[in-house]
Structure 1
């Protein structure tokens, strides 16, 4: 039985995760955390009244459970520090962690002998896109990334786009793409080690990414689309099933596939 506390349970992904956990016989929901829930009970959310609900981080008790985080980029680093210090195994679905913060969390996990996963995207199609993009970058080093999300997404670029850029940067030959004069500042997008990353925020979109490669006389596009949050549930289920086998804090769902 995998025991799970869901942090950020009032958001769309948090609610979907709660429904998933409650639908699986091998998972047990042991607590809920969200600052907006302070002073409320589980019954306010049509959940069993005995289920603990915490509105302040300091109120969350120590527990040998999985801390499934779908909060916000502004608080995720503090949350995971707290989780590791209080016995939880973190499963992080919130984007926004910086490289140095990930390193610090990995060191803290090692100190407390905890495993865990930081997952930029739970969608299996997104994991495959990153895998294929990394492979292609070895042969086509000229590349740009476009990510498209709903208008309420808090951070830009997305964790998936940034993770894709990092994977490409690991393998592509040392390379400088043709410079451009920006008549409109920022029009060429963000720059990650020479890889341009563009973020779109519009109503009607959920989560989409396209990686564009160009070479002499040819082009390659790799794209994935998530049209419904149900697309992330299989990845969450797999991560919860396999996270007990992880003995350090790792980055990416592919670590347990």
Structure 2
């Protein structure tokens, strides 16, 4: 991979592990001292004009990525698209955006206030992708968003960063499949997201996925500090299509359940 892309991925990784210490332990556990290839990285945003999906996609497109399939998560009011790079070792980039117009007037006002605080010079730049929560808000605003959308509340608290990295199980040394990875994680005491089953998907849809439950880290709001869900680590095993190529896309039903990894309430 070219240096600019490698640097961007490293910025995202360092920011990710700063609030997801379990990822460092899992990386050591599964990698056994060897490099781990990332399957994909996920980013979140609002669909407001200055910060929509296309704004977050801009730096990736400039690095050679190309837009691929789009997805709709109706119940969560989320639109998403993934992007792939000609270099097969470069991770896929999964960008989702919250459809703000489908929320209450109160929630929309909070989201617009957050975005209004952003530095316009940062919009659409690589630095924006790991700029974190540049905005400040009160805890009761976070709670108001939480009542309507776990996704919205997470984004309000954490801002721009990798929501999760994903281990490419196909390239993982010493493991035959995702079930074996999950067993190893269980034995080491890690908790997995059970929404829709521990393994979402499978060979029939050419993609099997699992993920940890998000770590928790402190967020300092304008008025209070609270321990809330941060980020998580995902694991993906891809299967061959009839033409012999590995499936490169995503499965909406599975991704819908992966979103629950950052839930703060049952």
TM-score by length of 1: 0.29
The structure with the larger Rg is 1
More helix by share: 2
TM-score by length of 2: 0.29
